C-alpha cells in the first residue's frame, strides 16, 4: 500500500484540480447576489432587506430543484470512472428533461411569493416588496437549473473550467445590468431591488445558452452520448434508466429542502425583528452563502472523486477521497473564519453605507466566522455518502439537524430568550455541527461495510 503522506498528497492534488474551478463557478452564483446586495446597500436603506426577502423565496426553491437533479453527479462520475463515456452523455440528456420538468413547477411556486411571505409573518408591505423581487427572478429558474445540469455533467467528466468561465461572464453581465437597472442609468427606469433581480435573470439565461452550446458542439458528440435518438420523452433508456439519478437526486433535493427551509425560517425570524435587524442579518447571511460556495465546490469535487474511484473498483481509495475532502474543507473554512473575524469591520463596510447596519453586521461576522467549518463539513459528507449510493440516511440527518432542531431553537432564541439576530446565527452553527457529526458517523459506517465486504 502507498505510504500515507504520498497518498494524501495525491488525493489532495486530484481534489483541488477539480475543486477550484467548481468552487469559483459556484461562488460566482452567490457573488452575483453579493454584488446585488452591495449595490443595493448603496442605493438606499431597506432595499437590501426587500431583495433578501424575494431571494429567500427564490433560492430555497432553486436549491431544492437543483438538488433533485444532482443525482447526475454520482451516476456520471461512476460511469466516467468505469470508462463508459457514452452513458455519461445519455445520463445528461435524461437529467435535462428531468430538470426542465421540475423547473416548471419551481417557477410556478416562486410566483406564489407574496402569499408565502405573508404566511411566514411578513407585513403586507414587506411581502409585496419581496414578492416583486421574486417575480423578477422567476423567469431565470429554468435557465439556472439547466446550467446546473450542464455543470454537473462537465465537472463529473473532468471538465470543470467551462462552468467557471460561464459564471465569470454572468457576473460581468450582471454588474453592468445592475448599474443600468438599479440606478436608472442610460435612460432606463430606476427599478432598485427589482432591477437587480431582472439583471440576474438575464445573466442566467445567457450563461445557460453558453453551457448548452459547449456540450452539444463538443468533439464526437454522438459517441459521447450528448446527441442521438431520444427514444422516449424521458430521454435515452426512458424513465427506468433515470431512476438511479432521480433516487440520489431526491435524497439531495429533500435534504436541501430541509436545510434551505431552515435558513429561510431564520430570515423570516430576522424580518420580524425589524428592518435594521433584517438588513444586518441579510448581509451576514449573504456572506455565509458566498463562502459556503467554497464548501459546495469541494463537496461536488469530493462526490466526483469518490464516484470515480468506486467506478474503478477501488473502494479503499473512494473512502480515502471522502475523508480527504472533509479534512481539506475544514482546513480551508477555518482559515476563512479567521479572515472574517479579523476583517469584520471592513466586510460590513463593503456591504452597507448606513452606520447602524455596519455596526450590527460587524458583530454578526464574529459569530459567522464559527459557522463556516461545520457548514462545509455537512455538505462535503452529504455528497460523499450519496456517492456510495446511500440516498435515504442523509435525508434523516438533514431533517433532524435543520428542521427538527434549528427552526425551533432559532425561534426560541428570539422569542423565548429575547436574543436579537445573533441568536439565529448561534442556532445555525449548532445545527451545522449536528449535521456534520451525523453524516460523519454514516460515512464511517459505509466505509467499514465496504472494507468488510472486500475482506470478508
- Please name the residues in contact with 21: beta carbons below 8 A apart, sequence gap of 6 or more: 155, 160, 161, 163, 164
What pLDDT does 456 receive?
53
- Please name the residues in contact with 39: beta carbons below 8 A apart, sequence gap of 6 or more: 178, 179, 182, 196
Q: Tell me the three cell numbers of residue 300.
A: 461536488
Report, as an integer, the average pLDDT of 319-330: 93
DSSP state at residue 160: T
pTM: 0.80
Residue 377 pLDDT grade (very low, low, confident, very high; cuts 50, 70, 90) = very high
Cα–Cα distance for residue pair 73/152, rounded to 1 Å: 6
Residue 263 pLDDT grade (very low, low, confident, very high; cuts 50, 70, 90) = confident
Report, as an integer, the average pLDDT of 326-338: 93
What pLDDT does 453 receive?
65
DSSP reduced 3-state for 45: coil
Closest residue by Cα to residue 399 from 416, 386, 382, 415: 382
What pLDDT does 149 receive?
96
Cα–Cα distance for residue pair 240/43, rounded to 1 Å: 51
Convert the pLDDT of each residue in 59-84 to its tens digit. 888 888 998 998 999 899 989 888 88
What pLDDT does 370 receive?
92
CA atoms within a 13 Å half-sphere pointing along the CA-CB vector of 229: 4
- Please name the residues in contact with 231: beta carbons below 8 A apart, sequence gap of 6 or more: 237, 238
Cα–Cα distance for residue pair 207/163, rounded to 1 Å: 9
What pLDDT does 330 receive?
94
Do the beta carbons of residue 205 and residue 140 sit within 8 Å? yes
Closest residue by Cα to residue 421 from 265, 263, 280, 260: 280
Percentage helix, strand, coil for the chain under 3-state DSSP, each rounded to 5: 85, 0, 15
Do the beta carbons of residue 222 and residue 215 sit within 8 Å? no
Q: Grid coordinates 465569470 are at which residue?
A: 168
The burial class, CB within 10 Å (0-12 / 13-18 / 19+), for 455 is exposed
What pLDDT does 191 receive?
82
Cα–Cα distance for residue pair 206/193, rounded to 1 Å: 21
58: enclosing H helix or E strand: helix 47-69
Do the beta carbons of residue 394 and residue 385 sit within 8 Å? yes
Higher pLDDT, 169 or 4: 169
Convert the pLDDT of each residue in 29-62 to its tens digit. 767 777 887 788 777 666 777 787 888 788 888 8
Cα–Cα distance for residue pair 37/31, rounded to 1 Å: 10
Tell me how far apart the terminal alpha carbons of the chain are, to the nearest angstrom: 19
What pLDDT does 252 receive?
81
Higher pLDDT, 276 or 436: 436
Do the beta carbons of residue 281 and residue 419 sit within 8 Å? no
What pLDDT does 276 receive?
78
Largest Cα–Cα separation, the chain: 73
Convert the pLDDT of each residue in 98-141 to its tens digit. 999 999 999 999 999 998 888 877 788 888 888 999 999 999 99
Q: What phi and psi, each to the nearest 5 degrees, are found at residue 354?
A: -75, 125
What pLDDT does 96 receive?
95
Q: Grid coordinates 423547473 are at which residue?
A: 103
Convert the pLDDT of each residue in 341-361 to its tens digit. 998 888 888 777 778 888 888
Q: Grid coordinates 458583530 are at which residue?
A: 363
What pLDDT does 454 receive?
63
DSSP reduced 3-state for 123: coil
Higher pLDDT, 85 or 441: 441
DSSP state at residue 227: S
Residue 192 pLDDT grade (very low, low, confident, very high; cuts 50, 70, 90) = confident
Residue 455 pLDDT grade (very low, low, confident, very high; cuts 50, 70, 90) = low
DSSP reduced 3-state for 319: helix
Amino acid at each position: 500500500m502507498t505510504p500515507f503522506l504520498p497518498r494524501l498528497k495525491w488525493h489532495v492534488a486530484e481534489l483541488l484540480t477539480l475543486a477550484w474551478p467548481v468552487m469559483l463557478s459556484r461562488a460566482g452564483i452567490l457573488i452575483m447576489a453579493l454584488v446585488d446586495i452591495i449595490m443595493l446597500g448603496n442605493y438606499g436603506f431597506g432595499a437590501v432587506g426587500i431583495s433578501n426577502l424575494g431571494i429567500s423565496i427564490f433560492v430555497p426553491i432553486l436549491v431544492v430543484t437543483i438538488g433533485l437533479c444532482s443525482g447526475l453527479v454520482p451516476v456520471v462520475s461512476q460511469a466516467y470512472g468505469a470508462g463508459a463515456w457514452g452513458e455519461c452523455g445519455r445520463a445528461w440528456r435524461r437529467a435535462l428533461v428531468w430538470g426542465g420538468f421540475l423547473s416548471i413547477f419551481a417557477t410556478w411556486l416562486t410566483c406564489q411569493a407574496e402569499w408565502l411571505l405573508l404566511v411566514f409573518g411578513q407585513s403586507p408591505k414587506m411581502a409585496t416588496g419581496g414578492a416583486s423581487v421574486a417575480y423578477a427572478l422567476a423567469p431565470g429558474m429554468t435557465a439556472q437549473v439547466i446550467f446546473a445540469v450542464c455543470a454537473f455533467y462537465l465537472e463529473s467528466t473532468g471538465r470543470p473550467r467551462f462552468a467557471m468561465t460561464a459564471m465569470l461572464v454572468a457576473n460581468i453581465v450582471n454588474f453592468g445590468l445592475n448599474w443600468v437597472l438599479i440606478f436608472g442609468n442610460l435612460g432606463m427606469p430606476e427599478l432598485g431591488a427589482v432591477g437587480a433581480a431582472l439583471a440576474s435573470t438575464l445573466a442566467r439565461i445567457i450563461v445557460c445558452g453558453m453551457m448548452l452550446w459547449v456540450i452539444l458542439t463538443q468533439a464526437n458528440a454522438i459517441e459521447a452520448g450528448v446527441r442521438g435518438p431520444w427514444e422516449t420523452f424521458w430521454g435515452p433508456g426512458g424513465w427506468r434508466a433515470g431512476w438511479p439519478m432521480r433516487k440520489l437526486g431526491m435524497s439531495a433535493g429533500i435534504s436541501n429542502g430541509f436545510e434551505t427551509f431552515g435558513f429561510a425560517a431564520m430570515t423570516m425570524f430576522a424580518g420580524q425583528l425589524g428592518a435594521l435587524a433584517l438588513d444586518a442579518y441579510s448581509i451576514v447571511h449573504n456572506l455565509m452563502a458566498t463562502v459556503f460556495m467554497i464548501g459546495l465546490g469541494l463537496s461536488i469535487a469530493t462526490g466526483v472523486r469518490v464516484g470515480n474511484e468506486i467506478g474503478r473498483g477501488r473502494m479503499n481509495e473512494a473512502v480515502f477521497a471522502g475523508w480527504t475532502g472533509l479534512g481539506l474543507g475544514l482546513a480551508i473554512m477555518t482559515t476563512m473564519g479567521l479572515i472574517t473575524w479579523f476583517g469584520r469591520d471592513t466586510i460590513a463596510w463593503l456591504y452597507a453605507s448606513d452606520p447602524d447596519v455596519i455596526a450590527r453586521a460587524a458583530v454578526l461576522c464574529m459569530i459567522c466566522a464559527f459557522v463556516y467549518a461545520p457548514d462545509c463539513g455537512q455538505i462535503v459528507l452529504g455528497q460523499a455518502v450519496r456517492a456510495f449510493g446511500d440516498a435515504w440516511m442523509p435525508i434523516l440527518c438533514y431533517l433532524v439537524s435543520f428542521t427538527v432542531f434549528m427552526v425551533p431553537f432559532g425561534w426560541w432564541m428570539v422569542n423565548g430568550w429575547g436574543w436579537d439576530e445573533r441568536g439565529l446565527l448561534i442556532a445555525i452553527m449548532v445545527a451545522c455541527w449536528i449535521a456534520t457529526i451525523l453524516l460523519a458517523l454514516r460515512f464511517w459506517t459505509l466505509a467499514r461495510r465496504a472494507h468488510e465486504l472486500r475482506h470478508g
